[in-house]
């Protein structure tokens, strides 16, 4: 760390020394204003024509540029304005540029599509973009949420601050099929293998633009780009200077359906300054704080293998109730099977056998036979009291027993006797019951918060080479929906990057440091609280015994439902209730005990180290007029460190290396009528064979600003770090990695095989523990990377100078589809197939395998923007994705509604600096498949809007807006919260 500080201090000192000595002959100063509104225009590029020497206007629209001599021709350029040239001969001249606004339709430049600057109209693949101007006027609380307005985008909301972007299907919380890059850095949390929304990254005031590649994109961006790549680029401090801040406050939960109305805070600050176009720095910070949306689906679900679905019933009428967002009720047992196991266990107890021998005068050691003879099938209270008095006297007379051993045996017999009577009287049903759980709101920390602090230092080594050192730090509390609900509490992620960038090349190195903080599994916490109060076996024994006795003593007047109510009352007596000291103490303890030790906490301090570079050969060697050639390479190393709580790394950290390289060729033919591009990339990871992913595209210029594009793209993803090395006990069972070493660790490939979930269910339903022939062994195969081949045709063009249209259609085939399967194995120390008959001697195990079935998807999308005149813009999109030829029973987790559309209207200055933006969104019914719950989500419509008032003289912007104005609660995935309206006002200063 000290070495780092010395290096940083030396660099800053050298930079300032260079600045002091940087003196040229002539300094030109001036200002730039909007010719229509007379407003200042910041961040305008001012270049000396024919050179790379230049600067930018500051937040006051003023520039200063030092040149060697006069005259020079200055070129002024900025998106949304016509380029302007001015010859400067007099150093004392007062330069005031009237910058003429111009249409921005199709004029934006994107980098994501080809890794080189390309007009968006000429992009060979589908790409969406949000500029800084667009971001300033979004009808949304933040830029990340507004990504959902783009064509082809689906967004899953697991928390106010945890939103997951995807394109072309496979919607989920935490998407491992889409890459998210921030200033070129892989933005994923290394231990989770997906980006935690925008918890880490630039603040909204520091976001320059967002580019989204829809669909396959591995040919240029590597593993993970199966369903797209999202690039978030921050503002360069040389271009965007000055102090900016934005204070946004609002209100949520206005109807009180989840909780009382509560405030929303979102504060942001940025300061950037450049010195003589040589050295620049930027500092930005942001804080978002609110009471989160609550996951409050308390309906019943049925678990089958790794999947579950919503079914009828509630806690009052279904003894085996398992609430969607209720945790701790996952512990379930079949009453008849449990009763048989209890009787068998007591019969095998030497102390019980000794009592039977004593009570029968040596005739038998079978405690059931003796008990039946003494009590019969309907004993009186006096008979029962006499039986237990004799039993207690016998036990107290046995030498060598501790008081704990005596108490434990007598307690077991208190359960055995009524259970034995129930078996004899045939009153114990072949029915499962579950423990009473706790609603999520009592287990999850809903005090969501996200704090960011970012620092950037930039130095121009030469006019063409820029060095930069940037740090992005984020911390917060949010919630993630996976196989369970995970409270990411005090999560901390930091990214640090050193980069050198020239006109035709760049090289960078960066690291991502993750600390899970106090994160925990909410399901495991519910289970822990229940067990901290009363062990599962004790609870189920009391329940079955009380049920049996209710029916025996109640006679014909006692219904089964009332017997269940009585049984739960007995078993739940003294249960820890939310708000009580006992409950709060148990929750606190569970959150502090690692999940590997029976608690809910998972520790994760996984790191990512990476380096990559790119070189534009054609520009460097000056043959780009004939052929564009770029090459690049990348190296990554994941260092998994969960101390055995999340990964199979109890023996020390695990290192996973990934290397790759790519080449792209682009050629224009027939007077630029046709542009062909071919790209290929090869990647290799430690545990898997290398993958080659080619891409071929063609763009036909059918008319000015009108282009047709064709593409064949491939993509892949290596199984995630969790897929490979997870070793996590959850409420539903054990999650393990897909590598052979995990099979060996748990004996699945040896003495303790796994059996398919369906066969275990059939075995238990047979009613006979001897029917082990019904068990079907699960077949394990080594996992391969998942791949996709995608074919696409598209059109993008401007019609009549006012209408911009973009359309695409695609067809994709996924191979070696990676999906989770569930098996069951014995949990006994000496495993036997008959152990699978009881859930108490069974362990449910899940891991990923490749599917034999190909998954075929197709879809289309159309977007349009029309300039109505007088500053009004009508915009919208409609898109569709679906699977084709899905085999019966196949679970794809595709989760894409068939149709979605967005329709908006905006005017940034409708009347005296007042502007507005409103967008209406609609989403079709969606059959959602997830490891948490599967089922159909209903369609929904919502409206976002914002009104803006600008005061140019004071650089002030006032806003009032809301998202989901109608407060119509909706959700985008099972297990995740229903999202209501958020209404806000804000004041911003110097927003650009």
Alpha-carbon gap, residue 660 to 676, rounded angstroms: 24
The pLDDT value recorded for residue 38 is: 87
CA angle 876, 877, 882 (to 5 degrees): 160
- Domain C-terminal end among 597, 625, 641: 597
Kindly give the residue spans of alpha helices, DSSP state H, lying in 572-675: 581-592, 617-620
For the four alpha carbons of 6, 7, 12 and 16, in that order, the dihedral sign comes to positive
The pLDDT value recorded for residue 302 is: 87
pLDDT (tens digit per residue) in 34-86: 998 888 999 999 999 988 889 999 989 999 998 989 999 999 999 889 999 99
Residue 500 counted as domain residue: no
Residue 332 counted as domain residue: yes
For the four alpha carbons of 377, 380, 386 and 392, in that order, the dihedral sign comes to positive
The pLDDT value recorded for residue 821 is: 87
Instruction: Write out the DSSP string of 924-980.
Output: --EEE--SS-BEEEPPEEEEEEEEEEEEGGGTEEEEEEEESTT---B-SSTTSPPB-
Q: Is 426 helix (H, G, I), strand (E, B) or coil?
A: coil
Please name the helix (run of DSSP H) or strand (run of DSSP E) that holds residue 825, with its range, or none: strand 818-826
Structure tokens at 295: 């996951």
- Domain C-terminal end among 99, 129, 149: 99
Alpha-carbon gap, residue 697 to 363, rounded angstroms: 88
Structure tokens at 342: 């209890």
- Domain C-terminal end among 548, 581, 597: 597
Per the structure, the complete domain to which residue 316 belongs is given by: 300-440+524-597
What single-letter DSSP state applies at residue 841?
Answer: G
Residue 373 counted as domain residue: yes
Alpha-carbon gap, residue 66 to 25, rounded angstroms: 7
User: Using H for helix, E for strand and C for coil, what is the string for 366-409?
Assistant: CHHHHHHHHHCCCCCHHHHHHHHHHHHHHHHHCCCCCHHHHHHH
We report the CATH number of the domain holding residue 56 as 2.60.40.1120
Alpha-carbon gap, residue 49 to 41, rounded angstroms: 20
Residues 31 and 40: beta-carbon distance below 8 Å = yes
CA angle 41, 46, 48 (to 5 degrees): 165
The pLDDT value recorded for residue 731 is: 66
Residue 947 counted as domain residue: no
The pLDDT value recorded for residue 7 is: 39
Alpha-carbon gap, residue 403 to 410, rounded angstroms: 11
Question: What is the phi/psi pair of residue 53, to 5°?
Answer: -80, 135
Alpha-carbon gap, residue 474 to 453, rounded angstroms: 7
The number of folded domains in the chain is 2
Residue 407 counted as domain residue: yes
Q: Which residues of the chain have pLDDT under 50?
A: 1-24
Closest CA to 230 of 273, 269, 180: 180
Alpha-carbon gap, residue 791 to 713, rounded angstroms: 6
Residue 428 counted as domain residue: yes
Residue 406 counted as domain residue: yes
Residue 338 counted as domain residue: yes
pLDDT (tens digit per residue) in 120-156: 999 999 999 999 989 999 999 999 999 999 999 999 9
Place of tokens 């003289």: 953
Alpha-carbon gap, residue 969 to 940, rounded angstroms: 9
What single-letter DSSP state applies at residue 362?
Answer: T
What single-letter DSSP state applies at residue 369?
Answer: H
Those residues with Cβ within 8 angstroms of residue 21's Cβ, 6 or more apart along the chain or in another chain = none
The pLDDT value recorded for residue 947 is: 98
What single-letter DSSP state applies at residue 778?
Answer: P
Strand order in the sheet with 228-234: 127-131, 207-214, 228-234, 179-182, 185-186
Residues 895 and 170: beta-carbon distance below 8 Å = yes
């Amino acid at each position: 760390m000290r070495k780092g500080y010395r290096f940083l201090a030396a660099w800053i000192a050298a930079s300032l020394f260079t600045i002091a000595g940087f003196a040229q002959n002539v300094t030109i100063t001036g200002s730039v204003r909007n010719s229509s509104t007379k407003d200042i225009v910041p961040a305008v590029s001012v270049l000396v024509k024919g050179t790379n020497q230049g600067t930018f206007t500051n937040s006051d629209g003023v520039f200063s540029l030092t040149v060697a001599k006069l005259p020079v021709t200055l070129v002024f350029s900025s998106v949304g304005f016509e380029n302007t040239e001015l010859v400067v001969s007099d150093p004392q001249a007062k330069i005031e540029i009237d910058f003429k606004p111009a249409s921005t339709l199709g004029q934006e430049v994107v980098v994501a599509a080809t890794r080189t600057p390309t007009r968006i109209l000429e992009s060979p693949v589908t790409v969406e973009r949000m500029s800084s101007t667009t971001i300033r006027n979004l009808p949304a609380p933040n830029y990340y949420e507004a990504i959902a307005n783009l064509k082809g985008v689906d967004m899953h909301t697991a928390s106010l601050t945890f939103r997951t972007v995807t394109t072309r299907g496979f919607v989920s919380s935490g998407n491992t099929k889409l890459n998210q890059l921030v200033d070129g850095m892989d933005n994923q949390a290394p231990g989770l293998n997906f980006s935690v929304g925008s918890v880490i990254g630039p603040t909204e005031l520091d976001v320059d633009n967002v580019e989204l590649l829809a669909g396959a994109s591995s040919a240029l961006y590597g593993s993970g780009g199966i369903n797209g790549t999202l690039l978030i680029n921050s503002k360069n401090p040389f271009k965007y200077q000055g102090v900016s801040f934005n204070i946004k406050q609002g209100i949520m939960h206005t109807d009180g359906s989840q909780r009382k109305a509560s405030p929303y805070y979102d504060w942001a600050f940025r300061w950037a300054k450049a010195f003589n176009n040589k050295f620049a720095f930027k500092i930005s910070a942001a804080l978002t704080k609110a009471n989160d949306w609550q996951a409050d689906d308390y309906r019943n679900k049925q678990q089958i293998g790794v999947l579950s679905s919503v079914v009828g019933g509630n806690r009052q009428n279904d003894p085996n109730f398992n609430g969607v967002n209720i945790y701790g009720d996952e512990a379930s047992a079949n009453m008849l099977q449990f009763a048989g196991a209890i009787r068998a266990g007591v019969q095998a107890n030497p102390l019980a056998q000794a009592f039977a021998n004593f009570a029968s005068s040596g005739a038998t050691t079978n405690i059931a036979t003796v008990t039946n003879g003494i009590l019969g099938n309907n004993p009186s209270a006096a008979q029962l009291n006499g039986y237990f008095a004799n039993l207690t006297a016998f036990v107290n007379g046995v030498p060598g027993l501790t008081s704990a051993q005596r108490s434990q045996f007598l307690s077991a017999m208190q359960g055995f006797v009524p259970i034995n009577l129930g078996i004899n009287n045939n009153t114990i049903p072949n029915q499962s019951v579950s423990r009473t759980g706790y609603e999520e709101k009592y287990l999850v920390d809903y005090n969501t918060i996200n704090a960011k602090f970012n620092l950037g230092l930039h130095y121009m080594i030469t006019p063409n080479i820029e060095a930069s050192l940037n740090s992005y730090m984020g911390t917060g509390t949010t919630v993630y929906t996976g196989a369970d609900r995970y409270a990411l509490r005090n999560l901390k992620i930091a990214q640090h990057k050193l980069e050198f960038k020239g006109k035709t090349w760049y090289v960078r190195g960066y690291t991502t440091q993750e600390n899970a903080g106090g994160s925990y599994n909410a399901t495991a916490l519910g289970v822990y609280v229940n067990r901290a109060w009363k062990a599962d076996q004790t609870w189920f024994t009391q329940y079955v015994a009380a049920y049996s006795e209710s029916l025996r003593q109640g006679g014909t007047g006692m219904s089964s439902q009332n017997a269940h109510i009585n049984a739960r009352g007995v078993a739940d007596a003294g249960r820890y209730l939310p708000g009580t000291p006992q409950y709060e103490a148990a929750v606190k303890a569970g959150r502090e005990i690692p999940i590997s030790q029976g608690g809910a906490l998972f520790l994760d301090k996984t790191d990512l180290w990476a380096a990559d570079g790119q070189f534009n050969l054609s520009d460097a060697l000056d043959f780009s007029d004939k052929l564009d050639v770029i090459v690049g390479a990348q190296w990554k190393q994941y260092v998994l460190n969960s101390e055995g709580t999340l990964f199979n790394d109890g023996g020390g950290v695990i290192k996973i290396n990934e290397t790759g390289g790519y080449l792209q060729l682009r050629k224009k033919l027939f007077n630029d009528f046709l542009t062909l591009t071919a790209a290929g990339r090869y990647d290799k990871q430690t545990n898997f064979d290398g993958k080659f992913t080619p891409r071929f595209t063609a763009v036909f210029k059918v008319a000015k600003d009108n282009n047709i594009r064709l593409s064949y793209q491939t993509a892949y993803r290596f199984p995630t770090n969790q897929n490979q090395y997870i070793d996590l006990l959850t409420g539903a069972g054990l999650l393990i990695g897909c590598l052979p070493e995990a099979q060996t660790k748990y004996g699945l490939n040896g003495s303790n095989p796994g059996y398919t979930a369906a066969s275990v269910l059939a075995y238990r339903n047979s009613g006979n523990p001897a029917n082990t022939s019904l068990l079907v062994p699960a077949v394990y195969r080594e996992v391969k990377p998942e791949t996709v081949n995608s074919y696409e045709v598209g059109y993008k063009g401007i019609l009549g100078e006012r209408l911009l249209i973009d359309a695409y259609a695609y067809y994709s085939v996924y191979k070696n589809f990676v999906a989770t399967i569930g098996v069951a194995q014995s949990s006994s120390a000496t495993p036997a197939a008959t152990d699978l008959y009881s859930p108490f001697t069974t362990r449910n195990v899940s891991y990923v395998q490749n599917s034999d079935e190909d998954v075929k998807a197709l879809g289309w999308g159309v977007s349009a923007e029309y300039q109505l005149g007088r500053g009004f813009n009508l915009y919208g999109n409609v898109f569709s994705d679906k699977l084709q030829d899905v085999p019966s029973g196949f679970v794809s987790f595709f989760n894409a509604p068939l149709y979605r559309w967005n329709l908006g209207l905006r005017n940034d200055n409708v009347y005296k600096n007042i502007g507005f933006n409103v967008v209406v969104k609609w989403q079709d019914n969606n059959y959602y498949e997830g490891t948490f719950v599967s089922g159909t989500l209903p369609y929904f419509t919502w409206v976002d809007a914002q009104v803006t008032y600008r005061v140019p003289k004071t650089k002030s912007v006032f806003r009032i807006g809301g998202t989901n104005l109608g407060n119509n609660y909706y959700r985008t995935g099972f297990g995740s919260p229903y999202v209501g309206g958020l209404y806000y006002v804000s004041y911003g200063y110097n927003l650009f």
